[in-house]
Amino acid sequence: MLGYMGKLLRVDLTSRTLRDEPLDPETARALVGGAGYAARIINDEVPGDADPLGPKNKLLFMTGPLTATSFPTTARYEVCTKSPLTNMWLDASSSGWWARDFKMAGYDGLIVEGVADAPVYLWIKDGKAEIRDASRLWGMDSDETQAAIRAELGDEKIKVSCIGPAGEKLVPLGCVMNDEQRAAGRGGAGAVMGSKKLKAVAVRGTMKVPVADETKLREVAKGLREGITHHPVVSQFTPYGTAFLLEDGWVSGDIPNKNWGKGVWRKGCELLNGRVMAETILVPHAACQGCFIRCARWIKINEGRFAMEGPGPEYETLAAFGTMLMNDDLAAVCWANDLANRYGIDTISTGSVIAFAMEAYEKGVIGREEAGCDLTWGNVDAIIEMIDQIGNARGLGALLGKGVKRAAAELGRGTEAYAVHVKGMEVPYHDPRAYFSQATSYATGPRGACHMHGASFVLEQGAPRPDTGIPSEVDRFSNEGKGILAKLAQDKASVVGSMVMCMIASDGMIYAGMADALEAVTGEPWTSERVAQTGERITNLQRVFSLKCGITGADDTLPKRLLEGPDEGTHAGKIPDLSVLLPDYYRERGWDENGRPTPKKLEELGLTDIAGEF
């Protein structure tokens, strides 16, 4: 099948056996690849009641048909599993270079099952794979691990996806890291990897991906490049990175501050934004493989206690370790980012749990002795201390590393009121009180609160979507008509996660462009309608798995803090009304009043075989 290498590598760590199995063409046609294809495997093979950190859970590393082709922004892979943070569906995407080498080593995906009896890593090169001892790597941080494996195997071109100490210690905020601190960040895939005692997957590939129409693929890529170059906002990602958002996002109220308790923090945003970074500490560096946008930051801080050189923070991390914690020290955020990435913990969730702890400290629920530091807002020493504790699962950090939902449940004393999560996933840093469709997207997101699974707020901002019929002007504070925005954003994200391509680049593509790219690479007939339905099919399949895991429509909600009006800003006093938003969304989805896909909807999507499974 063109666009694919045609096989998956299945590794049973319990028996230490490896075997190739063919890619199923029908599944690929229906779900493309990446997190779409993985949703089928996980639905079929992982029981809903499986312990996420037990032997019945599986961990998949998946590429898509565009990976390792000439199409830009597609050097990405999806890590899919049952999440130890949310106990339901999880996919987490990462960029860099690893995915390209993995696919060029001859595989579309990797299925890891069982549990090894001692630390191991996988070494895959041009169609050959082996399990190797990782005892001496255990305890190393993510940067050290990559360097050690390259040295051991004697090849500097080897790419490594791995976990840091947090994943080894089964911290549910643990993520999977690769290359220059790129992260499959959210939901605890690193802890699943650690539970299997799998330290790393090292790859090197030189094989060629078969492409149906290379000329057409390059034409589509050219259109994407031109569209983004002239896009008033996406073009900002090149000079300023995603951090440019901090410069003006506070005006709309998009950026949360002080654990979502403060509507606006102009000073912080003025000191932390991408323009400031570009003017002070940014240095030229390579982008992700094959990317012309080059949003990734590389920074050099020459002096002071946070002097360093390396990957710099992007928007979410600047909000996590900056505005959420009332910390306006850009150098300290860079340091915290580096530390979190080395330990292998999700910066978004980590910032959120520290913000939660700071509020609990302020309210007297947590004391200085318990915290091991003075957890006052903006205290950079405390921020770094807490990252160290979480990354090493020690002290208060051992509790916080379980995520804010469980931390609040264990602490009690009213802390649930400011534990900001959906289904256990800490809310990323776009405020749904500034754009009400985002309330729906968060409440119903396939992996919990997530902007990567539905940034519907951009549709309320007037992002052009000529293929959808969405009007260019939408009242951001209206509760009416937002269900379709959430659905469109989620389904598009599902396709992006199956292709697998960059979410930022996809902002410059409508369904027709995505269809053209898929058709060029696979030779299959693709249309806008097929792309749209594929996205819907994937979203529903992921939802079905989560329903099997025990979530219900009652879990489709927002935390208390986000149902209180912000104190100031253009969104002051605004509160999304879920009693209007959710029924509207369910109607648009063809789901029943409890958020369950109806048999009719599943039949329409060709998913009748799973209709009776939840």
Cα distances (Å, whole numbers) of residue 12 to 55, 456, 589: 10, 39, 37
Structure token digits, residue 290: 């094959």
Smallest gap from Cβ 480 to another protein, in A, equals 18
Q: Which of 16, 503, 19, 17 is nearest to 8 (CA)?
A: 19
Give the nearer residue to another protein in terms of CB position, either 181 or 242: 242
Please report, as ranges, the residues that interact with another protein according to CB under 8 A. Answer: 232-233, 235-237, 241-245, 247-249, 251-252, 254, 264, 295, 314-316, 451, 455, 458, 461-463, 472-473, 503-504, 507, 568-570, 572
Length of the chain: 614
Give the nearer residue to another protein in terms of CB position, either 194 or 268: 268
Smallest gap from Cβ 28 to another protein, in A, equals 28
d(CA 446, CA 589): 13
Q: For residue 406, give the amino acid letter.
A: R
Give the nearer residue to another protein in terms of CB position, either 182 or 596: 182
Give the nearer residue to another protein in terms of CB position, either 24 or 247: 247
CB atoms within 10 A of CB 163: 30
Contact 353, 324 (CB under 8 A): no
The b-or-e profile of 254-285 (16+ CB within 10 A means b, else e) is bbbbbbbbbbbbeebbebbbbbbbbeebbeeb
Q: At which residue do the structure tokens 């900002």 appear?
A: 236
Smallest gap from Cβ 556 to another protein, in A, equals 23
For CA atoms 520, 521, 523, 524, give the dihedral sign.
negative
Q: At which residue do the structure tokens 């290379």 appear?
A: 214
Give the nearer residue to another protein in terms of CB position, either 267 or 413: 267
Q: Which of 110, 98, 132 is nearest to 7 (CA)?
A: 110
Give the nearer residue to another protein in terms of CB position, either 270 or 370: 270
Q: What's the longest Cα–Cα distance across the chain?
A: 65
Smallest gap from Cβ 275 to another protein, in A, equals 8
Give the nearer residue to another protein in terms of CB position, either 203 or 501: 501
Give the nearer residue to another protein in terms of CB position, either 316 or 556: 316
Tell me the H-state helices in 392-508.
Answer: 396-400, 404-411, 436-444, 457-460, 483-499, 503-506
Smallest gap from Cβ 507 to another protein, in A, equals 6
Smallest gap from Cβ 502 to another protein, in A, equals 11
Smallest gap from Cβ 264 to another protein, in A, equals 6
Smallest gap from Cβ 472 to another protein, in A, equals 7
